Chains A and B, each alone.
Chain A
Amino acid sequence: MTGTAEMLAEDIIEALGGEHEFSLQLAENVQAEALQSVQDLVVISSTYGKGEVPDPGRKLFQALQANPEQLAHLRYAVISLGDSVYHETFAQGGKHWRTLLQGAGAREMHPPLLLDASADTDATAIAVDWAGAWLAESLAEPASTADLD
C-alpha cells in the first residue's frame, strides 16, 4: 500500500539471505495456486481502513478464503503492521491472515510480530531479529514432505 511491508521484506531477505533461498512476492501478483509449491510462508501485512486486509492483498485473501484447503500444507508466520493511533483495529490486517491460515490447518512456526508505526523504534531491526528466530525454528524442523522451493 505505502511500500512499508515490501521494504521490510527486502530488509529481512537482505539480512538472512546468504545460504537460504527466499522469494519475495507482492500479494497483488500472487495466484492462489502458486502457494502449492511453497512450504514456508511469511506474510507481512499492513492494515487498512477498519482493520482490514489492504487492497493489494484482498483478491488473494478472498480466493484463499474460498478454497482454504490450498493452505493446509503450509508452515507460516505473520508480521502485522499497524498504527496504535487506531486502537481498536490495531494491526488487524495480519490477524485476518492468521485466522485464515489457522482455520485451514496450516502450522504456525513462530508467534506473530506486531509492528507499530507510531512507535519510535527501528522496525527493520525488530523484524530482522524476529525473522532470525523464525528461520532458526523452521530449519530445526525440516519440512518432511516435498522439495522446498
Chain B
Amino acid sequence: MSVAIVGSGPAGFYCADMLSKALPRQAIHIFERLPLPFGLVRYGVAPDHPGTKAVTRLFERVMQRPQLRFFGNVALGRDLDLRDLEQAYTVVILATGAGIGQKISCPGVEQAPGICGIDLSAHFNGKPVRPESLPRRAQSICIVGNGNVSLDAARLLAKPEAELLACGVPQALLDWRAGLGLREIHVCGRRGIADTRFSSVELEELTQLADFHPVVDARDVRDVHDQAGTNQDAAAILGRWAGAGNSGRRPIRFHFDQGIEAWRDGALLTRGRDGVPQAIPAQMIVHAIGQRGEAIPGVPFDPESGRIPNVNGLVRGKERTFVAGWAASVAGGQIALSRQSAQALLPAILAHFPEHVVS
C-alpha cells in the first residue's frame, strides 16, 4: 500500500507532508520531471523574493522522513505511464501544476522575439537555458500582463546586476541582459488602472530601483476615482506616479486599457478603450498573461481550461487517481492555497487506506 505523487511543487509536497503524518508507515514516492524539486517555488518565485521561497525548508524536512523517496528527471508520459503508476500504487496524486506560460495571439506575434514571464523567472532562478535561444538586442521591451508576474519580469530586467548576483542569478543571464542594450521597459495590459492584479508591495518595489523608475500617464488616472475597480490599492499607487517628473532613470512605462492588435516592425500596435491607437516600441515581448497546465500523454486533460478534469479532486473516470493544486483548478494565488488544496483532498485519499484511524 503506498502513494505516488507526480510533481514536487507546493501541492505535491503539502500532500506528501499531510499524508506522511496520517500514514507514517506507507511509502510515499514523489516523481518530478525536472532534476530538481520544488516546482514554481524554485523556478517561479523571483530570485529576489527569497522569503517566499523559505517554505522549501518545510519541504526538505518532509523529504527526510524515511517513507519518502524522490525521483527526479522522471517525466510522466515520457518515462512513466499513468497506468503503471496506478497498478503499482494504492493512490496516485497528480500535482503537475500549470507551468506553461500563455502567449498573446495577434497578427505578427510569431515573428516577435519573445519569452514567457515565467520562463524568464525560471532562467534567472537557474533553470538551464541556451543563451543563444534568447532574443539578442532589445532597446525596448514590452511586458504584456496585468499581474505580479509582469512586475517580476520588470524587476529582473531593471534591477542592478550586483543585487541580482547576490540573489544567485547566473552570470550568463546577466551577461545576456547587459547585451540587450535596454533603454526602456513597457508594461501593457487590457485591464483598467483600478482592475489590475498588481499587489501593492510588488508595485512599491519598482520605486526602489537604482536605474529605472515607473511612469504612468496622467491621462490614465484622470477618472480612476469614478471607476469601481477591484484594486483601489494598486490604483492609488499607480495614480501617485502619474505626472511624476523625469528622474533621469530609464522608464518602466505602464499602459492600461489596451487591446493588442498586431506586432510589426519592432512595435506592438494597440488600441485603447477610447479608440486611440498606440505603437509601443518592442523589440522583444515578455508574455505574462497567465499559465496553464500541459497535456500529458495518458492523462485526462481539458485543452480549453488547461486543467485535469476532476470532481472535487478525483480525476474524472478514475477511482484512485487524484489531482491537487494548480493542475486541478485556476492557476494563480499563493502558496497557501496549494496547502488548502492538499488538505481538502485528504479525507478522500485516506478512505483508500482502511487501517488509517481518523482520530
Chain A positions within 8 Å of B, measured between CB atoms, are 1-4, 7, 50, 54-55, 82-86, 89, 116-118, 120, 123
Contact B50 A3 (CB under 8 A): no
What 1/0 mask marks residues of chain B from 45 to 85 whose CB sits below 8 Å from any chain A CB? 00011111011011001000000000000000000000000
Partner of A3, one of B48, B49, B58, B200: B58
User: Do the beta carbons of B51 and A3 come within 8 Å of each other?
Assistant: no
Q: Residues of B at under 8 Å CB distance from A?
A: 14, 17, 48-52, 54-55, 57-58, 61, 200-201, 205, 233, 335-336, 339
Given contacts A1-B336, A2-B335, A2-B336, contact A123 B57 (CB under 8 A): yes
**B49 close to A4 (CB less than 8 A):** no
Residues of A close to B201: CB separation below 8 A: 85-86, 89
Q: Is the CB of A1 within 8 A of B339?
A: yes
B51 and A85 within 8 A (CB)? yes
Per DSSP, chain B at the interface is helix
Most chain A CB within 10 A, of B50, B51, B335, B336, is at B51
Closest 6 CB pairs of A and B: A83-B51, A117-B51, A118-B51, A117-B54, A1-B336, A2-B55
**Which partner residue on chain A sits nearest B201 by CB separation?**
A86
Instruction: Establish whether residues A118 and B55, one from each chain, have CB atoms under 8 Å apart when the complex forms.
Output: no
Most buried by B among A2, A118, A120, A123: A2
- Cα–Cα, bound, A142→B173 (Å): 59
The answer to whether B54 touches A3 (Cβ under 8 A) is no
Name the A residues within 8 Å of B48 (CB-CB).
85
* Residues of chain A with a CB closer than 8 A to B61's CB: 7
Let me know if B52 and A3 touch, CB within 8 A.
Answer: no
In the complex, chain B residues whose CB is within 8 Å of the CB of A50: 200, 233
Q: How far is the CA of A50 from the CA of B232 in the complex (A)?
A: 14
Report the bound CA distance from A92 to B58 in whole Å.
Answer: 22
Closest to B41 in A: A2
Q: A4-B54, A120-B50 are in contact. List 15 more A-B contacts (CB 8 A).
A: A1-B339, A2-B335, A2-B336, A3-B14, A3-B17, A3-B339, A4-B55, A50-B200, A50-B233, A55-B336, A84-B51, A85-B51, A86-B201, A118-B49, A118-B50
Closest beta carbon of chain B to A54's beta carbon, Å = 8
Contacts of A85 in B (CB 8 A): 48-49, 51-52, 201, 205
Of all chain B residues, the one with the shortest Cβ separation from A49 is B199
Neighbouring B residues of A55 by C-beta, 8 Å: 336
Question: Which residues of B lie under 8 Å from residue A4 when comparing CB positions?
Answer: 54-55, 57-58
State A2–B10 Cα separation when bound (angstroms): 9
List 16 interface pairs A-B (beta carbons < 8 Å), by A numbering. Answer: A2-B58, A3-B14, A3-B55, A4-B58, A7-B58, A7-B61, A50-B200, A50-B233, A55-B336, A82-B51, A85-B49, A85-B52, A85-B201, A89-B201, A117-B54, A118-B49
Q: In whole angstroms, what is the CA distance A83 to B14 when docked?
A: 21
CA distance A54 to B335 in the complex (A): 13
**Nearest Cβ distance between residue A52 and chain B, in whole angstroms?**
13
Find the A residue at minimum CB distance from B199: A49
Set of chain A residues within 8 Å of B14, measured between Cβ atoms: 3
Point out the residues of chain A lying under 8 angstroms from B205, CB to CB: 85
CB B166 to nearest CB in A, in angstroms, measures: 11
B52 touching A117, Cβ below 8 Å: yes
Residues of A within 8 A of B49 (CB): 83, 85, 118
Note all chain A residues with C-beta closer than 8 A to B51. 82-85, 116-118
Q: Given the complex, which residues of A lie within 8 Å of B233, measured CB to CB?
A: 50
Residues of chain B lying within 8 A (CB to CB) of residue A1: 336, 339
Residues of chain B with a CB closer than 8 A to A117's CB: 50-52, 54
Nearest-CB residue, chain A, relative to B59: A3
Measured CB to CB, the closest approach of chain A to B202, in angstroms, equals 9
User: Which residues in A have their C-beta under 8 angstroms from that of B58?
Assistant: 2-4, 7
A34 vs B17: C-alpha distance when bound (angstroms): 28
* Cβ-closest chain B residue relative to A11: B61
CA of A86 to CA of B204 in the docked complex: distance in angstroms? 9
Bound Cα distance A149, B49 (Å): 41
Chain A residue at minimum C-beta to C-beta distance from B202: A85
Determine the residue in chain B with the shortest Cβ distance to A56.
B336
* CB proximity of A25 to chain B, nearest CB, Å: 15
Which residue of A has the minimal Cβ distance to B10? A2
